[in-house]
Amino acid sequence: MRSGFVILSSDEADALEVALAAALAEGFDRRLVVDNASRDQTAAVADRHGCERLALPRRVPYTEAMNAGLSALLDGPDPPELIALLQADTFVTPGFLAATRAVLTARPEVGSVAPKLIRTTGPAPGDQLELLDAAGMTFDRRRKNRLVGHGRPAGSFARAGEIFGADGAAAVWRADALRDCAVEGRVFDENMPGWGCDADLAWRAQRFGWRAWYVPEAVVFHIRTYSPTTRAQARPEDRATQFRNRLLMIVKNDRPAELLRDLPWLIGYELLALGYALLVERELLGGYRQFAARLAEARRQRALIQARSVRAKVPFGLVPPP
């Protein structure tokens, strides 16, 4: 199974130096760095390591940058059969590619594989923490995506198992699944940039019949900049973005029968969220305005997604064995 990776760098040359060396040691067949209009040494680092480089002319959100990189690999000559989606702040460890490829080879229904993410504060070995960053992603009946095991001891979740989806920090996808999940040629929804676009892709993949698998033998160290433990330090506009994108995901991916089943959880959460926004974080109210501005495009995409949906019930709440 031919392999490739896409690594995004936005003025992150120092971290990219380490991330690339680790990924290249795994023996990927195609190696692409998406240079998000960086002004640092990103280009020099990519060239020094012998990687293909896609130079974007201007800084764009994650969704657009990754779509450009994926298009270059999926639509180019001799495309890989599996693609690792990585970032400059993700550092894979030996055996990462072999462990994820083994799952995709043995399980044709699996579209994405989530590695065990362990937290680190920097690229050096001394920066690594004994804390789990994520054992994949889960989605509950309130339509909230969560990182499985975030903050638990690093040795937690030592068994493989099915999950709802892979966190966007580091994931390995079957190329055919990415093609299948693309809407109008775009894997990530550029109408909802920011946090949550990975959850949206995971939900869409589930809706299209693809499963996701967590593999603890594939270990990646990750510098987490936004999480449940760092949310208070995030910019107000970023918190509003997360608020907005959750609502856009519901519009695009949910089904009336599932909404009706989970109505008590949804109504309860929405009332609490609105009250919290009014009384505590009024900047979140901007998320409602942004949602309204992007609603028409979300509804248009919903028609395309629901027309291709093959799974009647999405397995909310899936987590791997502890």
- Please compute Rg for the chain using Cα positions: 19
Tokens 């899936």, located at residue? 318
Token couple for 303: 């028609």
**pLDDT given at position 321:** 87
**pLDDT given at position 50:** 96
Tokens 């990530």, located at residue? 188
CA distance 176 to 80: 10
**pLDDT given at position 311:** 85
CA distance 232 to 314: 31
Tokens 């068994």, located at residue? 159
Domain spans, the chain:
3-222, 232-308
Q: What is the 3-state secondary structure (H, E, C) of 38-50?
A: CCCCHHHHHHHCC
CA distance 92 to 31: 14
**pLDDT given at position 165:** 97
What amino acid occupies position 109? E
**pLDDT given at position 18:** 97
Tokens 């987590």, located at residue? 319
**pLDDT given at position 222:** 97
CATH of domain 3-222: 3.90.550.10
Residue 204: phi, psi to the nearest 5?
-60, -40
Segment (H or E) for 65 = helix 62-74
Is 11 buried (19+), middle (13-18) or exposed (0-12) by CB count in 10 A? middle
Grouped pLDDT means (10 residues each) for the chain, 322 residues: 97 96 97 97 97 97 97 92 98 98 98 98 94 96 94 96 96 98 97 93 97 98 76 70 93 94 94 90 90 97 95 89 86
**pLDDT given at position 293:** 96
- What's the pTM? 0.94
Token couple for 21: 């060396």
**pLDDT given at position 242:** 85
